[in-house]
Chain A
Amino acid sequence: MLREKIEKYLLDVQKPSRYIGGEMGSIIKNPDETDVSFAFCFPDTYDIGMSHLGMKILYSLTNSRENYRCERVFAPSEDFEKIMRENDIPLYSLENLQPVREFDFIGFTMQYELSYTNVLNMLDLAGVPVWQKERSENLSPIVVAGGPCVCNAEPLADFFDIMILGEGEEVNLELMDLYYKHKQKGSSRTEFLRDAVNIQGVYVPSFYNVEYNIDGTVRSITSDEGVPAVIHKRIISDFDKVYYPDNFVVPFTEIVHDRASVEVLRGCIRGCRFCQAGFLYRPFREKSGESIYSQAKALCENTGYDELSLASLSTSDHSDISDMLSNLIDYTEKNKINLSLPSLRIDNFSEELLEKVKKVRKSGLTFAPEAGTQRLRDVINKNVTEDEIMNTCRIAFEGGYSSVKLYFMMGLPTETDEDIVGIAELAQRIVDLFYSIPERPKGRGVQVSISTATFVPKPFTPFEFEPQDTREMIERKQKLLIDSVKTKKIKVSWHNSDVSLLEAVLARGDRRLSKVIYTAWKNGCKFDSWGEHFKFDVWMNAFKECGLEPEFYACRKREYNEIMPWEHLDYYVSKDFFIRENMKAREFKTTPNCREKCSGCGVTAMTRRACFD
């Protein structure tokens, strides 16, 4: 029995409750009584994966179908992986402690580029061939991927049978339904895959052929006969009525986001030009205040969590924000639940609501101006003005706050030294503001923390054409920023720029990179997003070994007419729109948000209706 084997070693590893399942809220079905099984794999550790909302939704949704079974799988930490490999313990699911290779589907959610090597490692631990073409003609297991990275998962194309574009709530079940038919018929893998391409959102990479020009750019992407040339993403049209779980698996051990969470809206009206999520999840859809309230209440009651958060790209953009929040706060206060409100703009709140919000909002004050000058904020279409920042800081300081955190990006298109110095100057003006307020908290100094990340150009954004700054350019700018800060009240920190380079390569890479990912993994790379595990030199050697240059992918400017590796994938927003937006950025011109004025991004052509009444 696998369970006995696992338990034999469990006390030798850190946080063993991550590896044995049985948590409150987990759904354990008898494998003999279900028709199709889905191993939902998160390519990172339990602590991180269990925080992911998408997994919670799809886990409950799949299990809501009586004859389908969804079980959770995470990457083991290094200590347990070593034990698993030494003792022939294959990767297994947490519900039935069943080997992953026995499932009908092995599904990975691809949330960030630096988890790619973990996918290979997990497939290998499961005993499943990592290359798609090396899998047998047996119907199972079908290895599928979903999540935002799938918008250009070309670097992973050779590892997956299927990729699912867009939102999974409907298409996942459609795919399982189709699979069940083929299972009963006794179809082969290829027979099933040929049929699956008829479902909108289903992409079978092996049915597409990519050719390259001599300079390394893509010459053509052609599909096999009978296979759609373009794959369109899936969206949920009635977002207010879409399935939402009334219970979560509540872990024993502490995880990153250990709380009940309700998704209040999907998509974003803002159109910040660097932000992939802002375009990928279009159109903007929101849940009614009533749905949010009843879902929050059900979740809190069923999980016993005493913390609730609202999930969205920008909660402030909910059209009924005041009433919605006001009702929620009344409920959470009465029931001794902490409400956390990330990414909330409070500058346009009524006095009454502000009082309520202030009571629940204990965490620090965070802003993401992203750029140091108004000119550059216009370039990236980040419609935050300095007045708004100052106004909110003033409200916060008067309310007793004394620390502010600011997020910026470095290496944005058109950036000059003036923009970098502008970051320090903005922080300085916040410091000055603090001391100009008579009602400021007494006896405490102000603390402004600046956190900078290296800009990573992403596909499906107006900046998909842009080069990333080289390491030398970024290091010079970091030094300039440090030199521009004149007080200890301002603290500066940044992300590792090597990590950003790799992210940029994988984000806009093509299929040839699968060899690089494979080589890097073979040579020991995994958990690349963890500082202590990131092996930059091993990655660089892998590029060299495969005859590819990271700079070609990260630091090269693309012409508007270049065929992108993701040209055959459609996320409803048109390339023409991205080109228009890119040109406007060059002219420092902003685009109004979707609610103010439709900018014709292309979404309505697919949804066939206006995004706003």
Chain B
Amino acid sequence: MIKVRTVFEKKGRAKYISHLDLNRFIMRVFKRSGLPIWYTEGFNPHPYIVFAMALSLGFESDCEIMDFNLTEGVSFGKIKKILNDILPEGLKILYVTTPEHKIKDIGKAEYSVECITENPEENEIFLTELQKFLELPEINVEKKTKKGIKLVDIKPLTELTNIINKSDNIVLNMRLPAGTQNNFNPMLFIDAFSAVSSVRFETGKISRTGILCADGEVFK
């Protein structure tokens, strides 16, 4: 059994595919591919395919991780070509590799969020208010968990790595806790800011730009 890790992008029309739908859909892609995919050996055998992290509906990404097993060796280049010939617009395998880290090693994820103010002249106010917002002692938001809604202070968890003021929009790059245990959606921060900001804005493109291990190393 050979373990294979793929990194793929999800963009354009494909960003409207929900995680659940992507799961089901990818089974068919593998069925069609003819790749010697390894099936689980339980009562209902199915191809063993794992996505490292779910991506919110509407988010784009160029760093999604999908793992699967093959029963016999196929070159990475060939796997990439076979899958990309089948995948529809917006889904593309960027590279194929042997897993280095375990999925539970994931600790952080990076996002980029476009904020579009109604009037570009308000960008300066937006940035000033954002600065003030970041200086607050705590930023409490309601987070949905399996056990219900709980109040979380996201201030120590949110790392704003970069803020770019383009004339049409402002791009916020941020790093948030991620992984099987603890996952934070960038919209928690954006919504919290939007609630107190005097500037009305909409979000444009939202992308996941990186998946990292807990120590900050790129997840591979």
Contact = CB atoms under 8 A, between A and B. Distances in A.
Given A253-B21, A336-B45, A304 B16 contact: no
Interface string A272-308: 0000000000000000000000000000111111100
A21 to B, nearest CB: 7
A15 B18 CA distance: 8
Contacts of B17: 17, 252
A610 interface: no
B101 interface: no
A358 B30 CA distance: 28
B39 A336 contact: yes
Interface residues of A, number: 24
Nearest to A17: B16
Interface in B24-58: 24-25, 27-33, 39, 45, 57-58
A11 interface: yes
A9 to B, nearest CB: 11
Interface in A14-38: 15-17, 19-24, 26
Contacts of B22: 252
A97 to B, nearest CB: 10
B28 A16 contact: no
A250 interface: yes
Contacts of B16: 10-11, 16-17, 19-20, 252
B138 interface: no
Interface stretch (B62-70, B83-91, B107-115): B83-91
A11 B86 contact: no
A11 B88 contact: no
B141 interface: no
A305 B88 contact: no
Interface in B9-23: 12-14, 16-18, 21-22
Given A11-B58, A16-B16, A254-B21, A24 B45 contact: no
Interface in A108-132: none
Contact of B13 (A22, A300, A301, A336): A22
A10 B21 CA distance: 16
B120 to A, nearest CB: 19
A304 B32 contact: yes
Contact of A305 (B21, B28, B30, B58): B28
Contact of A24 (B12, B27, B30, B86): B86
Nearest to B59: A11
Most buried by B among A17, A21, A250, A302: A17
Nearest to A305: B28
B90 A304 contact: no
A19 B58 CA distance: 13
Contacts of A21: 13
B28 A24 contact: yes
Contacts of A306: 27-28, 31
A254 B28 contact: no
A304 B29 contact: yes
Interface string B84-108: 0011111000000000000000000
Interface of A: 10-11, 15-17, 19-24, 26, 250, 252-254, 300-306, 336
Interface of B: 12-14, 16-18, 21-22, 24-25, 27-33, 39, 45, 57-58, 86-90
- Top 7 A-B pairs ranked by shortest CB distance? A304-B28, A304-B32, A22-B13, A304-B31, A16-B16, A11-B58, A17-B16
